[in-house]
Amino acid sequence: HTQGGVRSQEGIGTGVVWDSYGHVVTNYHVISKVDKSVLSQATKVLIAGVDGKGVVECNVELAGTDAVHDLAVLRIVGTTDGSAPPLQPIALGRSADLKVGQYSFAIGNTVGLTRTLSAGVISGLNRSIPSPVGTRIYGMVQTDASISAGNSGGPLLDSSARMVALNTATFTRSGTGRGSGVNFALPADLLLDVVPKLIVYGNAMGKL
């Protein structure tokens, strides 16, 4: 969908393995159209090994959501073939240390093409974009590394392969649906604050 000229794509996306307990972080808009009562039947997560091989299809349940920050956490509850998923938690960096002009790398399933990487630089910091519920998300990282359909929820990496932000949206030229090279990602420091609350409490308030 497009909101305020910023486009995000539902139904297809990427995620990152957050921890060894099988929590997967992605964008809320990726799973927002799925009926939560049948999410475990309607949603499958494909986990690839570190070498990109040995892809395993996993069953998941919803651990928590934060639509205000366009975040969702899924929990792997098993695999379709009974094997152990190859869980390799993402290495995290600090978005507070980012500088405009440093290299950035976006990984995701671009328009369904798995394990696609695009390169660019950090173009801006502390941007704001509309959230799925119409409020503003502040502190966004801007990059010209390509973010398109399927990249949502994937990692934006620095040169040390640490995730410094979560790919979220791209600014589209009005009436064309084409990206402009102006892309946005949720900062890692925000994830470090919100994701543990979603895992434990199911919400960003940190309360049951």
The span from the CA of 13 to the CA of 206, in Å, is 26
CB count within 10 Å of CB 90 equals: 19
Tell me which H or E stretch contains 7.
Answer: strand 6-7
The CA-atom distances, in angstroms, between 12 and each of 91, 121, 177, 184, 199 are: 23, 25, 17, 17, 22
User: Is residue 70 flagged as an active site residue?
Assistant: yes
Give the list of residues 6+ apart from residue 41 with CB closer than 8 angstroms, or none: none
User: Is residue 180 flagged as an active site residue?
Assistant: no
The span from the CA of 203 to the CA of 208, in Å, is 8
User: Is residue 95 flagged as an active site residue?
Assistant: no
| Set 23, 29, 66, 158: catalytic member | 29
The span from the CA of 135 to the CA of 184, in Å, is 16
| Set 70, 144, 158, 189: catalytic member | 70
| Set 32, 118, 123, 152: catalytic member | 152
Nearest to 127 by CA among 113, 142, 112: 142
The span from the CA of 29 to the CA of 1, in Å, is 9
- Which residues are identified as catalytic? 29, 70, 152
